[in-house]
Chain A
Amino acid sequence: MRALRRKLWNDLAAIRWQGLAIVMVLASGMATFVMSLTALDSLTRARSDYFRAANFASVFATLKRAPRALEPRLRAIPGVADLETRIVVPAVLDVRGLAEPATALLISVPDFSPPRVNRLHLRLGRLPTAERRGEVLVSEAFASAHRLRPGDGLRAVINGRYQPLTIVGVALSPEFVYSVRGGEMIPDDRRFGVLWMPYRDLAAAFQMDGAFNDVAATLRPSASERDTLQQLDALLLPYGGGAAYGREHQASSRFLDNELIQLRGMALLPPAIFLSVTGFLLHIVLSRLVATQREQIATLRAFGYSRGAILRHYLAFAAILIAAGAALGTAGGAWLGRELTELYARFFRFPTFTYRVDPLVVVLGAGLSSAAGFAAIWRVARRATAEPPAAAMQPAPPDRFRPSVVERMGWGRWLSPAARMLFRHLELQPWRAAMTSCGAALSLAILVLGSFSEDMIDFVMRFQFEHAHRQDVTVTFTEPSPGRAVHDLRHLPGVLAVEPFRAVPVKLRFGHRSRRLGLMGVSRQPRLFRVIDERMRPVEIPPAGVVLSAALADGLGCRAGDQLTLEVLDGARPIRVVSVAGVVRDFLDLNAYMDLDALRRLLREQETASGAFLRVDERRTDRLYSRLKALPRVASVGIRRAMLESYRRTLAENVLRMRAYNLFFACVVAIGVVYNAARVMLSERSRELATLRVLGFTRGETALMLLGELAVLIAAAIPLGCLLGYGFAALLAWSLATEVHRFPLVVRADTFAMATAVTVGAAIFAGSVVRRLLDRLDLIAVLKARD
């Protein structure tokens, strides 16, 4: 069999560029598969290891204020394994080098011992103790953003007074793996941080001695989360609680879950695309090889080589390409997986985040690649051995052409012979023509899909921050404050307009379904904070009733006009019946809006506000920020410009890299498909093309006949690819959508244009390579050879 082996390597060398294209497409599929699954594995492992080691809570509850004496009763709830009560309060921080105020979440830790639930992982320094006042532990993300180290100082505005704090350590917490301020999507580590302080200090600063306002508990393995939450609510209800939630609603954990879902999605769709293209390419290349080697096969059979030996010979041909692709893809996937994991390590803060390539993933990927590859060529390889040697020694019967559909429709007389050739060839092997078109369309779809997330985020950002929330600054008060507080804001330097709002936690119930959320009371004719629909048209808030997010209405199963039970989870906890005045399609969170005055009436309050939206004079922000830092009522300050900048900076880093990968993968597919299709066509039709040259057709005219057919296939691929890309985008948006995030199906026209341009460009490149081969066609040798 040494001779056959020699033939195998010679055959491979003869089609090396086509083989390389196949290897690259397969490697791309394998790489995305290995990358996604290994990154998923790393992230999942990091999460489970950390959550277990840190004794991360399974249930959480926030409340107004409860005595610590309640703690034993909470602990006694069946199913609770361990429980800790604490104080969690927002505060404004004054950080050196940062003009605008930063927001911190202050969390109490036991005075002389580390917390048992949500254990902190010390990166630097030590835990704070109550022996010395003002000691704090800072979250690593915030510390890194400001280069803070143990021994450095911070100033917090607590109850309107600057309180100097000393950093004694830098830590990680399982609660803030993804450290993002409420209502935001991307971490802004410069302006949001977490500070842990001894209970005694924090209680003293906020008049919370002997009390707590936050609970975190772990559960026994056998416990029912639902029952535990109900019992927690029952006990905490009198203290302003009643809205306990599980880990799946914990902000950081939820972002992590979302990311894992996305990664899982990435592990399926792109590899499936690449593998189907690989199968197609292997099929056409091997089919052509077998067709040209028909007589060789017959000769080998005549010499006494068995069918099995020849079958193995052609299977080995595919196996070598598959093995090369899988090996290259594994290496590439491991490299990309490491890159992705490093990227994750910047967003998700785990104590240890190690990247590892699970051999099982490689075996699975190689198995799938082999399955796809062999399935595609099995019949071709079988056919190679099926023909009796004597028959195979004769020339193959000529292809049976017939008038194309265009001619059958009566348009034939308008077609030149060249155009007729083109259409008849397309129809001779419609399956191959369709697959070539589909291959190019898939490359286009990959690009559309790659850019879709960018378009989508861009749309949501414009929706949210250009059309809906137009305020420059959002000030939140520590507690609902009288109208005077809003009035004071109006007189701060640089403030051009002020719009108060009232936010209150509520439970909305319709039939047996209910949802907990913050009900937002806003101005009826707002200039800053507007409620808009998906077409970005403002929606007027009616004087009575609530306007709901469509996702919320769907979740509750209600429509405009229905009556809901509204249970306020704060203060006097009134329960009212309100009507659904309207439903708006939006994208972030579950939202319910009410006219500010109507909400105040419902709460039996006058002129109260939870905070205010400001429009400010950009030239006077420094003075404004320094005044805001010192205002006692101010719990947090959100600055739109800073947030958008942080978001754009983060996005710019990642988008560029992702764009490069997408471009690479799409070009690999487009070039692989077009080059292989063109090479096979050239091989099949070299005699015909040489004849045309002899008849006096120029090189250009002859090339046009070959490449014209490809051009038609690419032209057909463009609308198909746009449609496929849109379909993939819809699939992605649908698969990622939760009640909390809806993804608009927005693909910008320039995304389609870019994807089309890249695919066409890659096709032109592949076509020009084949054109060079055509120009070098040895006319005499081709014409003299027998078919």
Chain B
Amino acid sequence: MRNVRVTAAEASRADGVSPMDGVSPVDGVSPAVAGFPAVGASSAAGVSPADASQSGTLQSGTLQSGTRVAWAGGGELMFEARGLVKRYQLGEVEVLALRGVDFLLRSGEFVVLLGPSGSGKSTLLNILGGLDTPSEGFVRFRDHDLSQGDDDLLTHYRRDHVGFVFQFYNLIPSLTARENVQLVTDLAAAPMRPEEALELVGLGARLDHYPSQLSGGEQQRVAIARAIAKRPDVLLCDEPTGALDVRTGIVVLEAIERINRELGTTTAVITHNAAIAAMADRVVQLSDGRVASESRNAVKAAARDIQW
């Protein structure tokens, strides 16, 4: 076994996470990805969705090969990811961010991906969002294969189907709230009006404010409005409350919750804040580049009731 040390900074570059995130070094063993089942095969592993909903919690299905599948139930299948492996080359060192992840996401679902820094959740989200491609395995959005996508295809995929929300908002500082949203509605085929999107997140009165004139929570809500204004098929949120205090964080979560509920937008939120998991339909736990467990909430908590 090779004994290679990777610094936190190097790892963060590979994973796209902050330097605090730790990524364990490669042990030289390629991940076991063979033998994963087709959609719904989780029942073959002895666990059925019905059981899950009855028990309230659901362990991820253990396959014969030992690979765990992040399992989805209900609605049309929107994402299907199989055997995702993501490898980064840092000089002579290889870092494995995903070690064979299977993940399904159904239309209208609200999924929280939980995991510590370096668990691979951001990498998974980036692949689902068309910001990155897997080194092995495949990922399909409806009938689009995203795993082989070239830059043009992924750009149009993001433009037409995905809404992103980031930890640090990433608003355009030179544009007002309304214009930040308009930036996206101009590109979309059947968007809502920018004002309508901002109303949805409770910012109808702050339309013409620049980011520098808004609080962190307000900025994040503008980011959400910008993400949903084009009526995306999926809303992907990467630590949306990571830079906010509790009170502001809850306001933001309420906005996300409302979007999912009222617009039926499929939503995936990644966070290392376990409290947020309570508001999801389904919670997928990632650890060390693998799906460690999966559970389903029988009753979703309201965002306003969450505390941390």
Q: Could you list which residues of chain A lie within 8 angstroms of chain B, going by C-beta atoms? A: 397-402, 416-418, 420-421, 424-425, 428, 687-688, 690-699, 779-781, 783-787
Contact = CB atoms under 8 A, between A and B. Distances in A.
B173 A695 contact: no
A696 B152 CA distance: 10
A424 B129 CA distance: 30
A199 to B, nearest CB: 87
A417 B164 contact: no
B174 A691 contact: no
Nearest to A705: B172
A399 B212 contact: yes
Given A398-B211, A400-B210, A783-B166, A695 B226 contact: yes
A780 B174 CA distance: 21
B186 A695 contact: no
A425 B183 CA distance: 16
Contacts of A402: 210
Interface in B103-151: 122, 126, 129, 131-132, 151
Given A417-B186, A780-B132, A787 B168 contact: yes
B18 interface: yes
Contact of B158 (A424, A696, A784): A696
Interface of B: 13, 16-18, 122, 126, 129, 131-132, 151-152, 155-156, 158-160, 162, 164, 166-168, 170-175, 179-180, 182-184, 186-187, 210-212, 226
A691 B172 contact: yes
Contacts of A783: 16, 166, 168, 170
A219 B227 CA distance: 91
Contacts of A699: 151, 155
Contact of B131 (A428, A687, A780, A787): A780
6 contacts: A398-B173, A399-B173, A401-B212, A417-B186, A428-B174, A696-B162
Closest 5 CB pairs of A and B: A696-B159, A780-B16, A398-B212, A424-B174, A691-B170
Given A417-B186, A424-B174, A698 B155 contact: yes
Contacts of B212: 397-401
A785 B20 CA distance: 12
A425 B174 contact: yes
Contact of B175 (A397, A420, A693): A420
Given A397-B212, A688-B173, A696-B155, A417 B179 contact: yes
Contacts, number: 95
Contacts of A421: 172, 174-175
Given A417-B182, A421-B174, A697-B159, 6 more contacts: A688-B172, A695-B158, A699-B155, A783-B168, A783-B170, A787-B168
Contacts of A691: 170-172
A698 B152 contact: yes
Contacts of B174: 399, 401, 420-421, 424-425, 428, 688
A695 B183 contact: yes
A420 B164 contact: no
Contacts of B175: 401, 417, 420-421, 424
Nearest to A404: B174
Contacts of B172: 417, 421, 688, 691-692
B187 A696 contact: yes
B239 to A, nearest CB: 9
Given A416-B186, A696-B159, A698-B152, A786 B168 contact: yes
A780 B171 CA distance: 15
Contact of B18 (A398, A696, A697, A784): A784
Nearest to B223: A691
Contacts of B166: 783-784
Q: Which of B183, B186, B226 has the most CB of A within 10 A?
A: B183
B183 to A, nearest CB: 5
Contacts of A786: 168
Given A693-B155, A697-B187, A781 B168 contact: no
Nearest to A403: B176
B16 A781 contact: yes
A780 B126 contact: yes
A687 B170 contact: yes
A692 B212 CA distance: 19
Given A691-B170, A695-B226, A401 B210 contact: yes
Nearest to A402: B210
A401 B152 CA distance: 32
Nearest to B16: A780
Contacts of A424: 174-175
A117 B255 CA distance: 101
Contacts of A400: 210, 212
Contacts of A401: 173-175, 210, 212
Contacts of A696: 155-156, 158-160, 162, 184, 187
B53 to A, nearest CB: 35
B29 to A, nearest CB: 26
A779 B131 contact: yes
A417 B156 CA distance: 19
B165 to A, nearest CB: 10
Contacts of B16: 780-781, 783-784
A527 B180 CA distance: 75
Nearest to A775: B151
A527 B169 CA distance: 82
Contacts of B187: 695-697
A687 B169 CA distance: 11
A420 B186 CA distance: 14
Contacts of A425: 174
A780 B130 CA distance: 11
A694 B132 contact: no
Contacts of A785: 168
Nearest to B188: A696
Nearest to B232: A696
A696 B162 CA distance: 9
A165 to B, nearest CB: 83
Contacts of B164: 694-695
Nearest to A690: B170
* Residue in B18, B160, B174 whose Cβ sees the most chain A Cβ within 10 Å: B174
Nearest to A398: B212
Given A691-B170, A783-B166, A786-B168, A420 B179 contact: yes
Nearest to B157: A696
Nearest to B171: A691
A2 B132 CA distance: 40
Given A428-B174, A784-B167, A692 B210 contact: no
Contacts of A688: 170, 172-174
Given A398-B212, A420-B179, A781 B13 contact: yes
Contacts of A417: 172, 175, 179-180, 182-183, 186
B48 to A, nearest CB: 37
A361 B175 CA distance: 52
Contacts of B186: 416-417
Nearest to B183: A417
Interface centre among B126, B166, B172, B212 (most CB of A within 10 A): B172
A697 B151 CA distance: 11
Contact of A695 (B152, B156, B159): B159
A421 to B, nearest CB: 5
A695 B236 CA distance: 12
A132 to B, nearest CB: 89
A170 B173 CA distance: 78
A775 to B, nearest CB: 8
- Most chain A beta-carbon neighbours within 10 Å: one of B162, B168, B180: B168
With most chain B CB atoms within 10 A of its CB, the pick from A401, A780, A786 is A780
Contacts of B160: 696
Contacts of A779: 131
A267 to B, nearest CB: 44
A785 B19 CA distance: 10
A473 to B, nearest CB: 72
Given A400-B210, A428-B174, A692 B183 contact: yes
Nearest to B18: A784
Contacts of B179: 417, 420
